[in-house]
Structure 1
Amino acid sequence: MAKPGGTVSEAEWDAFVQDSVAPRFPDGFTAWPASGQWRGADGKAVSEATRVLSLVHAPDERSEAAVRAIASEYKTRFRQEAVLRVRSHVCMSF
């Protein structure tokens, strides 16, 4: 949630979710706060607050493009060096 000059506020995060995530995944998603550590391009380890966004979707190109667009928009909007994406195949039922 760190960005140049500060941190992503709750209002900024909420607006991002409503503008960028919800329209692309109207059937639903889950997001929660976390803390994390990563090593930037400068080689320094950084610990900071973060958000985890879980998107369960069909393995199709439309969904893949939507996920890539969300990550790209987050990097642009909040001037991020990287966005971590983890992909796995799951079996789900309701």
Structure 2
Amino acid sequence: MQAFCTSVAVLAFGCIAAGCAAVHEADCAQGEQRSVSDVLYFGTSRAAGTITSAQWSGFLRSAVTPRFPEGLTAWPASGQWRTAGGAVVHEASFVLILVHPEDDTSENSVRGIIGEYKSRFDQEAVMRVKGHACVSF
């Protein structure tokens, strides 16, 4: 029985690893360009008061646009999360999508945006969801 369980676990891990590799190394169709799609979630609550739309616009203008002048998409959102004590906390937020080449310059730019937001607005974290995409216009 233990050998069966071990075999199932190895098979499951292999399938998961292969699935991740397949997504990561996906080929794009003709006319599409392989890119990275980053979705960043920025909270707005802080001790000094909620981050306003005007402050967010200023951040986009000074910290994001210079790093990604080719374009971006952003919108206000509403999120929630559960505390360690089980309470559900609701928080206004902003979402930013950046589609860019998979290179060190872009990676450093995304990390710079996250770091600057955390520093400027006294935030503990910015959630980043990074994936690969095939892009065409």
TM norm structure 1:
0.91
Query: Which structure shows the higher strand fraction?
Result: 2
Alignment partners' CA distance in 2, 1:39 and 1:62: 35
Q: What SS class does the counterpart of residue 14 from structure 1 fall into?
A: helix
For this pair of structures, how many residues does the alignment match? 92
Aligned partner letter, 2:121: F
1:9-49 per-residue CA deviation (whole Å, 9 max, x = no partner) reads 11111110000000000000000111111346xx2542101
Match of 1:2 in 2: 45
CA RMSD of aligned residues (A): 1.3
Report which of the two structures shows the higher radius of gyration computed on alpha carbons.
2
Using the aligned pairs only, state the percent identity: 54
1:78 matched to 2:121: yes
In 2, the alpha carbon distance for the partners of 1:14 and 1:69 equals 17
User: Partners of 2:123 and 2:78 in 1: how far apart?
Assistant: 16
Q: Secondary structure at the match of 1:3?
A: coil
Higher helix share: 2
Q: 1:5 offset after TM fit, Å?
A: 2.4
Q: Pick 1 or 2: higher relative contact order, CA cutoff 8 A, min separation 6.
A: 2
| Counterpart code for 1:57 | H
Q: Distance in 2 between matches of 1:63 and 1:10?
A: 25
Q: Give structure 1 stretches of 5+ with no counterpart.
A: none
**2:133 corresponds to which residue?**
90
Gaps of 5+ in 2: 1-43
Moved beyond 6 Å, runs of 4+: none
